[in-house]
Amino acid sequence: MKPLHSHSILTSPPTLLFLTLLLMLLSPQVSNADPGDVYSADGTKSDTPKEWAIALHGGAGYVSPDMPEARRVAYEEALQEALAIGSEILEEGGSSLDAVEATVRFLEDHELFNAGKGAVFTAEGRNELDAAIMDGHTMQAGAVTGVTTVKNPVTLARRVMTDSRHVFFSGDGAEAFADGTDVERVDPSYFYTESRFEALRRVQEAERDSSPGDDSDEKGGSGAEVEPGAEPGAEPDASHDSQESSNESIRGWKYGTVGAVAKDREGRLASATSTGGMTNKRFGRVGDVPIIGSGTYANKDVAVSATGWGEKIMLHVSAHTLASHYRFTGASLQESMDYLVDEVLEPGDAGFIAVDRTGAVSMKTNTGSMFRAAADSEGLREVAIW
């Protein structure tokens, strides 16, 4: 074996001078990184692309660090389990699409998260679910909004992508499309959970209190008590929106939503997101999640999934904004994430997870907390809330 520090032509002074000049010539003149460079989650340059990588979220919001220990553990265990599902698929050479779908399905089935079972309630006491999935390799996507009988909306979204010539189905049309597939259906009462129904009551009470004397309050409360599963549009009357006065109360609500992004061994990127939306949302309200480019996006550079205040996320076409920043400025994934979260959105609006074509991951929120987890082929394993 050759000694490590043997003198060779490579270390002779003329060669060193030549190599130094060559390096200077090849170095980028501006601080922007070459998009082909590899960065780790903290924005520092790393040497090796990751064979595979995955990140997931279970919603951004304002969870108190003083939350009961048992509840924190329950969240962490669920995130860990979700991470294991996606990681195993990727480790065994499965596709990023399969990984994000399976991860999101698990989170949809888990009561702790606002998607599928555990979804939040509309102002009328119903559960109307949104989901989307996107394959960054083929630039195909599928999305559904306002579904009420599909156990795993992310799987229906995938069917829209693969089995239809359309991208986005809503309400009755989405249900009718589901009829022609093998996706599992449930009675709408399946989505009922006491804690989410209580949350609806609390939000509606708080809003009644904040607008005393106004019995057609701005977010949908008429003063009438809602029952789970009431007819859409029946009660309460939600015809007097006053966006300004409700901004602060919306920021104070706990957001939710689940999502996953992944890069597989073939280098393909995918993103999936699923949600019940926002507590007390009005009948027919569509959030950012199923709007391709807002809450969900993937191309050959990056895959992104959002959570937070849907109206803000969609107004900034957020997931696509991150992707464009990454592509057109040559910034690292983390720099593009910082731009979106710190400069485009306002504090308290939203959180995002993203993975790029090198397998770098980034997870960041400007709310107080975001349930999140990430793993990669090089041994990264992270589960965090704050």
39/75 with CB nearer ligand ASP: 75
Q: How far apart are CA 365 and CA 346, in angstroms?
A: 11
116/287 with CB nearer ligand ASP: 287
Q: At what angle do helices 69-91 and 96-109 cross, to 10 degrees?
A: 160
- For 133, the 3-state DSSP assignment is strand
278/380 with CB nearer ligand ASP: 278
Least distance from ligand ASP to the Cβ atom of residue 373, Å: 16
Q: List, edge to edge, every strand of the sheet that includes 296-298.
A: 296-298, 302-308, 350-356, 361-365
Least distance from ligand ASP to the Cβ atom of residue 15, Å: 56
Least distance from ligand ASP to the Cβ atom of residue 274, Å: 10
Residues 6+ apart with CB under 8 A from 214: 240
Binding site for ligand ASP (CB under 6 A): 59, 114, 255-257, 275, 277-278, 287-289, 295, 307-308, 310, 313
Catalytic one of 149, 193, 257, 307: 257
91/311 with CB nearer ligand ASP: 311
49/277 with CB nearer ligand ASP: 277
Judge whether 262 and 54 are in contact, CB under 8 Å.
Answer: yes
Q: How far apart are CA 302 and CA 136, in angstroms?
A: 8
Q: How far apart are CA 57 and CA 371, in angstroms?
A: 5
Least distance from ligand ASP to the Cβ atom of residue 295, Å: 6
Least distance from ligand ASP to the Cβ atom of residue 211, Å: 22
Judge whether 381 and 83 are in contact, CB under 8 Å.
Answer: yes
Q: How many Cα atoms sit within 13 Å of 260 on the Cβ side? A: 30
Ordered alpha helix ranges (H), the chain: 13-26, 69-91, 96-109, 153-163, 171-179, 194-210, 243-252, 310-315, 318-329, 333-338
SS3 content of the chain, % helix, strand, coil (to 5): 35, 20, 45
- Which residue number is nearest to ligand ASP in terms of Cβ? 310
Task: Evaluate the CA torsion angle 337, 343, 344, 349 in order and state its sign.
Answer: positive
Active site residue 181: no
Least distance from ligand ASP to the Cβ atom of residue 248, Å: 17
52/309 with CB nearer ligand ASP: 309
**Start-to-end C-alpha separation, the chain:** 49
Residues annotated as catalytic (active site), given as ranges:
257
